[in-house]
Amino acid sequence: MLSRRVKDNLDAMMQTPGFQVTRSGDTFFATAPGFRKKKLMSQGAVTTPIGQWMRDMRMLPLQPDRVDTTRPTEFRGNSEYALTQSGKRVKLRDTRGLTHRGKQVYQTPELTVEVPATQEGVNASGEQFQIETVKIYTEVEFPEMGELFRQQPTQEQGMRAVVNLFKSRFGEDDFMLEESNQIWRYDAGRDFVFRIRRRVDNELQVQRLAMRHEQPLRYDWLHTTGMLPEALEIGGKCVTRQVAALLGFPERIAADLQASWEKFKDAAPFHGQHFETVGVTTEMMEDFAERRGINLIVMHGNRKVVHTCEGSDQFLAYICWDNHAYFVKSARPFTQKPVDTAPVCMELRVQMDRDVKACHSEASTEWQFWDDKIKPGCFIVRHCLEAIRQQWLHEGIVPISNACGFCKFSSILRRVGDGML
């Protein structure tokens, strides 16, 4: 709140000949002969109390020169540039990270979707061709997909909603695009691929996810020794199947899970939706374990978050990751692990097992070239590691990866039976 004395001083300043609004980068100042310079607007289009009063009460125009997000950005070396609404070129990021302008632009995750397609046309030799490709959609040309993605409670549900949006628009072999005597048709037999670019601290990270609708992924960096085969089965009753496989009596298990869901069905994230659609929560599983009188261990990734004891010798343990519960046959590997008491609101980074001990068996003393067969051992590859990793991702397996650059890896590992490849 400005005092009357300050307001009178600002009025006198605005009536002085030579009064003008100047800019320094994204910051606006009011200047006049005989008066001190007043800041009106700072970076990020944040208006100061003086700037707000001059704009609202004295109709002083303050138009920040925002980045025009409808225009594509360009790269010069390792720096990314964009154009403002006035046509000025500004830097968004370089090797040191994001600039102030970049932090303004990259505030929310930016979504790009690769829709599977078949390209048909005639080449320069007059021969007809047909190849498998993708049609890339961005939020600039298709903004409704970004809005739909961000409206969902989880990333996985957002991806499913976007895929359903495209499937409602395209049927098998439907026409998508025509350009220079070439056409693109929708291919329903392949996976959608999502690229999600988000800001982490002062850097941009791009996450590439193949949307395999119903098939849960197998994360080899998780401690999932003894994971139930039912954990990777397709369908909405994954929790019921896994718990019944461990405890028996499927009908009683389903009834107890239903009773626990009834207790929490009106709260988030259910809001009336059944747990077979939304998934279970930690609170719901704690209530289930209490009803059954059994001990419960819950892991979030490789972090232990719950360990309840109900005076029973029977344990139920699962690892929660990527909106899916992976139950294990034995809770023994997790019983001595301490519970992580970090506050839930605290932002935590995922702890991944990157340091893998080298094999010391006689078979591994001499490294051999990999023959493309999935078997335990240490091998040198002739192929590109990125391509092999991508192939494993399409199989639903997320390997342990040691990165040596952007999308570059020095080694990758996956579980093969009781060993590692």
Q: What integer pLDDT is reported at residue 208 of this predicted model?
A: 57
Q: Strand pairing partners for 317? A: 297
Q: Is the pLDDT of residue 132 over 60?
A: yes
Q: What is the DSSP letter of 276?
A: H
Q: What integer pLDDT is reported at residue 63 of this predicted model?
A: 77
Q: Give domain limits for the chain.
A: 4-57, 74-105, 110-211, 218-335, 362-420
**Range with top average pLDDT, 117-121, 380-384, 417-421:** 117-121
pLDDT per residue as tens digits for the range 223-264: 667 788 887 776 667 888 889 888 888 889 889 999 999 988
Q: Which residue has the higher pLDDT, 22 or 68?
A: 22
Q: What integer pLDDT is reported at residue 343 of this predicted model?
A: 53
Mean pLDDT, rounded, for 262-271: 84
d(CA 307, CA 338): 9
- List of E strands, 212-314: 218-219, 295-300, 303-308
d(CA 262, CA 287): 11
What distance, in Å, lies between the first and last C-alpha atoms of the chain? 67
Q: Is the pLDDT of residue 193 over 80?
A: yes
Assign a CATH topology to domain 218-335. Cathepsin B; Chain A (3.90.70)
Tell me the two tokens of residue 265: 């069905």
pLDDT per residue as tens digits for the range 333-356: 888 888 887 654 433 333 333 334
d(CA 374, CA 150): 39
Q: Which residue has the higher pLDDT, 321 or 15?
A: 15
Helix axes 238-247, 250-264, angle to 10 degrees: 130
d(CA 255, CA 404): 50
Percentage of residues in the chain with pLDDT exceeding 90?
8
pLDDT per residue as tens digits for the range 274-315: 888 778 888 899 999 998 889 899 888 778 888 888 778 888
**Can you give the pTM of this predicted structure?**
0.41
